[in-house]
């Protein structure tokens, strides 16, 4: 009976992981541009047509559990999957790095689900002398999945944090241990004040959005880029905020300070923490840092530069991350100017937008160190007449580490994703260890034993029947002596 209860709880908690595998199957961005990851051509997504969007920067879009487009927004307007305009009065700003993000309610009632569309204003959007803009709001978009599927706005522009200037970014990540999400943004300075270093974190659960944020003062003070009161510049607010696929690392680009700042994130509590015990880690001397993305295994960080077409790679396992910087080739050229928003796709490739271009660059093997990651300058062609601009859709990361429960030994030294999985399980663990994995069924029958030598990071479980498994992990040192044992729950599902 206890095992049945544990399985039931796990399947409920696993909603966000299952949903996330399909929520990013359709991309809408730029000047009537789009990609469809449900249909591939030559291994790449096919062009998506019909978009009514024409925007310079950030955008949000969401698909359902089957990969069908539901709606999209650039922070001001909202269109449904039929490209019908539902509203043009949202309080975001289309000229904003990450203008919006969509977070689904974990619960569904009568085949209907609410989605929370968070918007953030561009810094200084209202006027140069009022850099507050509109701050952060959210709207509730309801999708009724009874045929025909209908999309409607239940509530519009609910104030979450108005009259506070934010750094043009919004990010969200699935919670660990319970269904729901954390929504994250960084506060910014106002009117050339000394600024602040405040992160705001809001919790989203089946009961809705908790409007009382958790607040963390950590990292560098975010100053404006202007020299006189009332005459600021956007540069200080520009730059992406991203979280790693395993939910453990935050990275923040600062276009004005020419840097990227790294933090730890606790997906259980929502806490923003120092990257190392001695403080936050700053990757400096990255001129006009803008786009950010992590490799699928969360071990590498990619950063793009505004106007240059240069993309850097950093090894997050390095003892000196800054010194691990690799300048990737080829350099992206041939467009009017390049901001280079980057986004990890459901195919585990990283896509790089090029302003005023009909093609996207692609990093084909982003888990590989150095130029072996295979950057291609013109990897994907958009529909005729469609152009990329500066932004790509912002999504909740889809590869969240296994959900533990209180009666299972927990240790942060090993993370496993995706979970649930259809075939490949990826492992992050200390590089000087090896692993022995023993999969057992709920009635304690061993069905698979695998060893991962140091440096190996994946196994194939495609042959296992769809079920919930308990995995015992033995961590071995270089002398093949067991130094620790852990337990994890793994869900195997069909493609």
Average pLDDT value over all residues in the chain: 84
Q: What's the rounded mean pLDDT across residues 237-254?
A: 91
Distance CA 431, CA 405 (A): 26
Predicted structure pTM score: 0.77
Burial (Cβ within 10 Å: 0-12, 13-18, ≥19) of residue 477:
middle
Percent of the chain residues past pLDDT 90, beyond the cut: 48
User: Which of residues 100 and 238 earns the better pLDDT score?
Assistant: 100
- In order, the DSSP letters of 133-195 are TT-EEEEEEEEE-SSSPEEEEEEEEEEEETT--B-S--EEEE-SSSS-EEEEEEB--STT---
Distance CA 370, CA 266 (A): 29
Q: In angstroms, how far is the first alpha carbon of the chain from the final one?
A: 29
CB proximity list for 453: less than 8 A, separation 6 or greater: 434
CB proximity list for 443: less than 8 A, separation 6 or greater: 3
Distance CA 231, CA 211 (A): 32
Residue pair 105/113 in contact (Cβ under 8 Å)? The answer is yes
Q: What's the rounded mean pLDDT across residues 241-245?
A: 94
Asked if residue 324 has pLDDT above 90, the reply is yes
DSSP 75: S
| CATH (one of 3.65.10.10, 3.40.50.300, 2.60.40.10, 3.40.50.1110) for 415-492 | 2.60.40.10
Confidence band (pLDDT; 50, 70, 90) for 226? very low
Sign of the Cα torsion 492, 344, 111, 2 reads positive
Confidence band (pLDDT; 50, 70, 90) for 129? low
> Could you report the per-residue pLDDT of 3-58, keeping only the tens digit for each?
443 443 344 444 444 455 678 999 999 999 999 999 988 889 999 999 999 998 99
Confidence band (pLDDT; 50, 70, 90) for 222? low
Residue pair 461/494 in contact (Cβ under 8 Å)? The answer is no
Asked if residue 353 has pLDDT above 60, the reply is yes
Number of other CB atoms surrounding residue 423 within 10 Å = 16
Return the domain boundaries, the chain: 2-381, 415-492
Q: To which H or E segment does residue 490 belong?
A: strand 482-492
> Could you report the per-residue pLDDT of 419-457, keeping only the tens digit for each?
788 888 888 887 778 888 988 887 678 889 888 887 788
The beta-strand segments (E) located in 241-295 are 241-243, 249-254, 259-266, 271-274, 281-283, 289-294
Among 355, 277, 285, CA closest to 327: 285
> Could you report the per-residue pLDDT of 393-407, keeping only the tens digit for each?
999 987 543 333 333
CA distances from 195 to 18, 186, 191, 331, 446 (A): 40, 11, 9, 35, 57
Fold of 2-381: Methylamine Dehydrogenase; Chain H (2.130.10)
User: Which of residues 250 and 283 earns the better pLDDT score?
Assistant: 250
Determine the pLDDT at residue 381: 96
Q: Is there a common fold for 2-381 and 415-492? A: no
Distance CA 416, CA 403 (A): 10
Asked if residue 358 has pLDDT above 50, the reply is yes
Q: To which H or E segment does residue 13 belong?
A: helix 2-13
Tallying the residues shown for the chain, one arrives at: 495
Q: To which H or E segment does residue 3 belong?
A: helix 2-13
Burial (Cβ within 10 Å: 0-12, 13-18, ≥19) of residue 455:
exposed
User: What backbone torsions phi and psi does residue 274 show, to the nearest 5 degrees?
Assistant: -60, 145
Distance CA 339, CA 361 (A): 12
Distance CA 452, CA 464 (A): 18
Asked if residue 305 has pLDDT above 80, the reply is yes
Task: Give Cα 235 distance to the centre of its chain.
Answer: 23
> Could you report the per-residue pLDDT of 164-206, keeping only the tens digit for each?
778 788 999 998 877 899 999 988 765 545 567 889 999 999 9
Asked if residue 364 has pLDDT above 60, the reply is yes
Distance CA 234, CA 190 (A): 11
> Could you report the per-residue pLDDT of 87-123, keeping only the tens digit for each?
999 998 888 889 999 999 988 888 999 999 999 987 6
Distance CA 482, CA 65 (A): 41
């Amino acid at each position: 009976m206890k095992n049945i209860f544990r399985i039931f709880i796990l399947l409920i908690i696993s909603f966000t992981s299952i949903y996330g595998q399909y929520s990013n199957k359709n991309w809408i961005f730029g000047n009537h541009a789009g990609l469809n990851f449900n249909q591939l051509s030559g291994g790449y997504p096919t062009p998506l047509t019909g978009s009514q969007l024409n925007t310079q920067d950030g955008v949000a879009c969401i698909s359902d559990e089957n990969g069908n487009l539901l709606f999209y927004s650039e922070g001001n307007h909202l269109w449904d999957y039929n490209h019908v305009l539902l509203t043009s009065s949202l309080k975001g700003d289309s000229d904003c790095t990450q203008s919006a993000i969509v977070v689904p309610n974990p619960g569904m009632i009568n085949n209907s689900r609410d989605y929370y569309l968070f918007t953030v204003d561009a810094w200084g959007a209202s006027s140069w002398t009022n850099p507050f803009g509109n701050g952060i709001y959210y709207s509730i978009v309801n999708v009724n999945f009874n045929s025909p599927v209908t999309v409607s706005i239940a509530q519009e522009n609910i104030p979450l944090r108005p009259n506070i200037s934010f750094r043009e970014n919004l990010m969200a990540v699935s919670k660990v241990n319970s269904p729901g999400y954390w929504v994250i943004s960084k506060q910014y300075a106002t009117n050339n004040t000394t600024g602040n270093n405040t992160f705001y974190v809001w919790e989203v659960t089946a009961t809705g959005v908790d409007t009382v944020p958790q607040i963390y003062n950590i990292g560098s003070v975010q100053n404006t880029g202007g020299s006189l009161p009332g005459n600021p510049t956007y540069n200080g607010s520009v730059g992406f905020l991203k979280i790693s696929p395993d939910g453990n690392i935050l990275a923040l680009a600062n276009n004005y300070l020419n840097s990227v700042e790294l933090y730890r994130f606790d997906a259980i509590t929502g806490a923003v923490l120092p990257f190392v015990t001695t403080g936050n880690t700053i990757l400096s001397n990255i001129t006009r840092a803008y786009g950010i993305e992590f490799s699928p295994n969360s071990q590498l960080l990619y950063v793009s530069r505004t106007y240059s077409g240069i993309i850097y790679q950093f090894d997050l396992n390095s003892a000196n991350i800054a010194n691990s910087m690799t300048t990737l080739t080829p350099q992206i050229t041939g467009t009017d100017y390049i901001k280079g928003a980057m986004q990890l796709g459901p195919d585990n490739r990283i896509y790089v937008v090029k302003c005023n271009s009909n093609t996207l660059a692609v990093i084909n093997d982003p888990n590989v160190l150095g130029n072996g990651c295979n950057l291609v300058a013109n990897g994907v062609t958009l529909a005729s007449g469609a152009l990329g601009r500066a932004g790509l859709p912002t999504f909740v990361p889809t590869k969240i580490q296994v959900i533990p429960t209180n009666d299972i030994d927990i240790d942060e030294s090993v993370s496993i994703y995706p979970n649930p999985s259809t075939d490949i399980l990826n492992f992050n663990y200390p590089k000087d260890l090896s692993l022995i994995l023993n999969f057992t069924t709920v009635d304690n029958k061993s069905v698979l034993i695998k060893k991962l030598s140091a440096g190996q990071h994946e196994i194939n479980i495609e042959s296992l029947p769809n079920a919930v498994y308990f995995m015992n992990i033995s961590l071995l040192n270089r002398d093949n002596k067991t130094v620790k044992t852990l337990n994890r729950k793994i869900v195997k599902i069909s493609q």
